[in-house]
Chains A and B, each alone.
Chain A
């Protein structure tokens, strides 16, 4: 029994030491929270504010500083104004930009158009960049955000800031942000309530009631399976029923629903035979 207790005590002390070291022996760095869309009030933004926004994105959501820093993982961006003309005339350049602004936008969304010597992916002979397209994947900068980063890079790189603050994309971003800021609502489990909540019957006929802009959904379960119905909500233009126009149904319909609501709606329609 003594040996058993010794082993237990030894195990607990060892684990305790590792735990204590991890808590008190190294600094506790609070990682940044998951990124959120920044509210963009572009209409009232000055160019200085737009450049400042670009800097925030460069250091934060864009995760640019992970590589573009003094450790030499990616090229430094302090002399872009001077080096860009040379790159555009380089035989290795594969893009279509005609000036610094276009080159920077292109570099952000199509990084392999020109890879600075020594910074390509291993084994590609500097033809492929390890940098991701910042408009997609985990970074997902919006069009306005990309322009803000370009404005910041132009200023930082010593070239004239030629970017214009967009006026047409700000509204959308603002709406998106407002939606995000709303308190989460309770998920709805009544399919008929969902139909009226999302105003499906404004365009579709369901059980003899509703509009005729979209196909009649009465008895739709007999003709279409669940996968088709789910796809029709997630991607309304994937299949267009003959006689109806595309782009009539909102593409973000599914994004306004909880996944559970989507499935309830799909079940409801599939069982409507």
Chain B
């Protein structure tokens, strides 16, 4: 009775505390909104009197130097390292929240344990994110003081609240992590989940604010052609490319977070001492890969939307991106994305060994592999080649007569849609591997599935070939939207149909978690490394298309580093940063492992 009362009292206290926090947050938000509105009023007033000056016209002497330090490379590496960790620590709480909710719904404690282990990994990464953010900030202030001053004048409000939001995020993260075992069961679990929600809301808001600053540099808004700010902070934040970047980063972060956690599980699997540990980390790796694939599938579409919006904002910028000096970068991107898809699929195929029923599907795997490699090669085919005169003569022109069209967008779009559809098919085989359908219409259902995939692939191919070979260049990209829609319809319809076919299905046998070859774990590593490197490369191009502008058309970069580097140079910087990042990630994994180790020093402590 007393315990029950005590529990109720504690619950009441928690509710009270939460209510206070909620009210405080509400006041804070209300205050912020008022403050922003007031600031905007003041700003509008001061703008009307012209209090904001134009963007400064810089000279080489306006860029301080430190002997032996290349300013651009230093800022580049710090920014990239910060971004990788930030992407990771923003993504992990999102799927930890979802996994925790799944655990609450299914009452399967394994989900809860896995979610806890995921968040444990992100705790050390969180500190590193903050440290690297500080390094980035200081290096910007030191090396690009005028740019930072100009940006701070426009974004002073959001920069201040950004710093404050760190407190909210940190508090939520620490309570979420350290309170995990305390806030267990019933009402407490709901409280814990709510804290997870606050953590995610704060983290996502931080990302949105930072995105506003970087997209302002690409598509400035709220300023006149001379860079005079009109005082409308919201206009500067809600610039043309803000939302396309928000969507792309949100999806990419989840895929990236999944891949890094997958690498953690792989590392733990490889170093596991017992079969039980291997089984646990195999299961964890599988789930991490599942998360990465789920986010990876829509990512090309988000990327396509971003590129289309860049093109819509500035045709010049769009062409520089896709058809100008950066065009070759997309060939490197093709290699990396091909690597991602192949390694994710390879891991799934290896994972089918966990189930005795998988033998029924292994004969199809080679065909999936052939199609995926074929699609990868199409994506990999360049449009134009740098040729010598003799090569040009023997080829009969700058493009190969038959393979030439494989270099243009309709072929690329076809290839990526086919890769996505076949990855979905791989996943369907994996899901089916250990199940036997019991519904009477299973054959008809399978026939519909075959028809669905065949019709979908035929439509994608038709659109690609028709627009790739037979229509005018202006209309060549027109195939992309119906192709994407076809892919989405096929995947959604197939998943829905399969869920009906396998309703009340029986298991072929127990799933043997841990029965997977070690080389499959290297596929998870490959996924993480390729993702890291790809993000670095795409970060370079996103920033690089500004070329010799700090802020496009507003503030020119006149530093000695204003030139656009070659792709090899950029790749070298990305590689150095990626090695530093992976070293830190391995350190994070090691710390997470050390935290569970205990040494009992015999005879060291006084007895009794």
Q: Is B331 a contact partner of A26 (Cβ separation < 8 A)?
A: yes
Interface presence of A34 (CB below 8 A): yes
Which residues of B sit under 8 angstroms from A121, Cβ to Cβ?
312
B24-60 contact mask (Cβ, 8 Å, vs A): 1 or 0: 0000000000000000000000100011111011111
In the assembled complex, A11 has its CB within 8 A of some CB on chain B: yes
> Is the CB of B111 closer than 8 A to any CB of chain A?
no
A111–B267 Cα gap in the complex (Å)?
58
Q: Are A10 and B522 in contact (CB under 8 A)?
A: yes
Question: In whole Å, how far is A94's beta carbon from the nearest beta carbon of chain B?
Answer: 20
Q: Is the CB of A34 within 8 A of B582?
A: no
> Are A23 and B572 in touch, CB under 8 angstroms?
yes
Q: Does B525 contact A19, Cβ atoms closer than 8 Å?
A: no
Per the 8 Å Cβ criterion, residues 1-45 of A in contact with B are 3-4, 6-8, 10-12, 14-16, 18-19, 21-23, 26-35
Contact of A15 among B225, B386, B579 (CB under 8 A): B579
Which residue, of B56, B270, B325, B385, has the highest number of chain A Cβ atoms within 10 A?
B56
Q: Are A259 and B56 in contact (CB under 8 A)?
A: yes
How many whole Å from A266's CB to the nearest CB in chain B? 10
B586 touches A7 (CB 8 A): yes
A208 within 8 A of B: no
Is the beta-carbon distance between A72 and B473 smaller than 8 angstroms?
Answer: yes
Contact at B316–A19, with CB atoms within 8 Å?
Answer: no
Give a binary string over A157-188; 1 marks a CB under 8 Å from any B CB, 0 the rest: 00000000000000000000000000011110
Of B51, B385, B575, which contacts A231 at CB under 8 A? B51
Q: Are A258 and B62 in contact (CB under 8 A)?
A: yes
A26 and B328 contact, Cβ closer than 8 Å, known pairs A14-B526, A131-B315: yes
Q: A15, B575: Cβ atoms under 8 Å?
A: yes
A-B contact count (CB 8 A): 151
Query: Are A22 and B568 in contact, with the CB atoms below 8 A?
Result: yes
Q: Contact residue range for chain B?
A: 35 or more
| Interface status of B211 (Cβ within 8 A of chain A) | no
Q: How many residues of A contact B (CB 8 A)?
A: 59
C-alpha spacing A6/B269, complex, angstroms: 13
Task: Pick from A6, A66, A255: contact of B316, CB below 8 A.
Answer: A66
Give Cα distance in the complex from A187 to B567, angstroms. Answer: 35
Residues of B507-563 whose CB lies within 8 A of A = 522, 525-526, 529-530, 533, 547-549, 552-553, 556-558, 562-563
- Known contacts being A66-B319, A132-B314, is A22 close to B567, with CB within 8 Å? yes
Whether A21 contacts B332 by the Cβ 8 Å rule is yes
The interface centre, meaning the residue of A32, A34, A121, A262 with most chain B CB atoms within 10 A of its CB, is A34
- Which B residues are in CB contact (< 8 Å) with A7? 267, 270, 525, 586
> Does A230 belong to the interface (CB within 8 Å)?
yes
**Residues on A with beta carbons closer than 8 Å to the beta carbon of B578:** 15
Known: A26-B332, A184-B59. A15 touches B472 (CB 8 A): no
Q: Mark B467-492, 1 if CB is under 8 A from A, else 0.
A: 00000111000000000000000000
Contact of B579 among A10, A12, A31 (CB under 8 A): A12
Q: How far is the CB of A83 from chain B (nearest CB, A)?
A: 18
Q: Is the CB of B566 within 8 A of A28?
A: yes
Q: By DSSP majority rule, is chain A's interface helix, strand, loop, or mixed?
A: loop
Interface string of B315-327 (1 = CB under 8 A from A): 1100110011100
CB neighbours of B385 from chain A (8 A) = 27
Q: Which residues of B contact A228 (CB under 8 A)?
A: 51
Asked if residues B325 and A27 are in contact (CB atoms below 8 Å), the reply is no
* Chain B window 159-172, contacts with chain A (Cβ cutoff 8 Å), 1 for yes, 0 for no: 00000000000000
- Is B571 part of the binding interface, using a Cβ–Cβ cutoff of 8 Å? yes
Check B54–A234 contact: CB distance below 8 A: yes
Q: Which of B291-344 contact A (CB under 8 A)?
A: 312, 314-316, 319-320, 323-325, 328, 331-332, 335-336
Is A19 a contact of B571 with CB atoms below 8 Å? Answer: yes
One digit per residue, 1 when the CB lies within 8 angstroms of any chain A CB and 0 when it does not, for chain B 383-398 equals 0011000000000000
With the chains together, A28 CA to B332 CA distance in Å? 12
Q: Which residues of chain B are near A63, meaning CB under 8 Å?
A: 316
Which of A22, A29, A33, A230 sits near B53, CB closer than 8 Å?
A230
Which residue of A is nearest B572, CB measured? A19
Cβ–Cβ < 8 Å partners of B194 in chain A:
none
Q: Could you write out 17 A-B pairs with CB less than 8 Å apart?
A: A7-B525, A11-B582, A14-B530, A14-B533, A18-B336, A27-B385, A30-B566, A31-B325, A31-B565, A35-B548, A72-B472, A132-B316, A136-B553, A186-B61, A227-B52, A228-B51, A231-B51
The 6 closest A-B pairs by CB, nearest first: A22-B571, A34-B548, A31-B564, A137-B553, A72-B473, A23-B568
